[in-house]
Amino acid sequence: MRILIAEDEARIARFVERGLKANGYASTVVEDGISALDLASSGDFDLLILDVGLPRMDGFQVLKALRAMDVQIPILMVTARTSVDDTVQGLEGGANDYIAKPFRFEELLARVKLRAREATAGAGAVSSDLLVLGDLRLDLRTRIATFAAHDAAGNDLAERSVELSSREFTMARVFLENPNQVLTRDLLLSKVWGYDYDGASNVVDVYVGYLRAKLGAQRLVTVRGAGYKLVDPSA
């Protein structure tokens, strides 16, 4: 996997570059948004680690320009900004993931490995724009989920499509990128909301309920004391 690192803080760039090299990844560093846009659109890289606070062209502008050019390179946004609006702006703008500074390299590496698994058709991805598990398909551009519907007797009905809200879409995407894996509430909070809620918050359970109502309760299994997992009911 060839990784482009767009980071203007030399200390952080060296830290990330050394860590990736130690784990077998080839990487190139650029220090401004114009260079990031130029190299990321070249087709020579498999992942872009994109800092938001870049000179000449900030990370959000680079992201917007790449997606407008239909460049579908996976993008991991990195930023010192921690507001929910920034997280939503990045994810809804087409970023694949979002991590806030300061971060531990182990966390960054885990996210890089996830993108690598997707690139080799692991984790349920079948194209850059579609995630699939059984009859469930999630279109990453339209935020529309499509699946086979059944009546009370289990008979097949016409295929059904539903549009997901921003949070529902992000949560569905996390589940589809990790099929048949138990995802804890803390992990879902981190992936979907990007910051810590109060420990007593039940927001994850609420949104799992929303997805069950839209996609079918049998797809999202509660693992008592652990979390939730997405399954193919027909498997």
Q: CATH 1.10.10.10: which residues of the chain?
A: 126-230
Measured between alpha carbons, how far is 65 from 84 in angstroms, rounded to an integer?
Answer: 22
Mean pLDDT of 16-38: 93
Q: Can you say how many angstroms the Cα of residue 4 is from the centroid of all Cα atoms in its chain?
A: 18
- Amino acid identity, position 18: R
Instruction: Please say if the pLDDT value at position 156 is more than 70.
Output: no
**pLDDT value of residue 152:** 56
Q: What percent of the chain has pLDDT over 70?
A: 82
Mean pLDDT of 23-36: 94
Pairing of strands 125-127, 130-133: antiparallel
**pLDDT value of residue 127:** 46
Which of the pair, 43 or 158, is modelled with greater confidence? 43
Q: Is 155 exposed, middle or buried (0-12, 13-18, 19+ CB in 10 A)?
A: exposed
Instruction: Please say if the pLDDT value at position 120 is more than 80.
Output: no
3.50.50.60, 3.40.50.2300, 1.10.287.90, 3.40.50.300: CATH of 2-119: 3.40.50.2300
Does domain 126-230 sit in CATH 1.10.10.10?
yes
pLDDT, tens digit, for every residue of 175-184? 999 999 999 9
**pLDDT value of residue 198:** 53
* Beta pairing partners, 27: 3
Q: Verify cis geometry, omega within 30 degrees of 0, for the bond prior to 102.
A: yes
Instruction: Please say if the pLDDT value at position 141 is more than 80.
Output: no
Measured between alpha carbons, how far is 37 from 30 in angstroms, rounded to an integer?
Answer: 10
**pLDDT value of residue 104:** 84
**pLDDT value of residue 234:** 79
Measured between alpha carbons, how far is 190 from 184 in angstroms, rounded to an integer?
Answer: 10
Structure tokens at 17: 């570059």
pTM above 0.95, yes or no: no
pLDDT, tens digit, for every residue of 64-107? 999 888 888 999 988 876 555 666 666 667 888 888 888 888 88
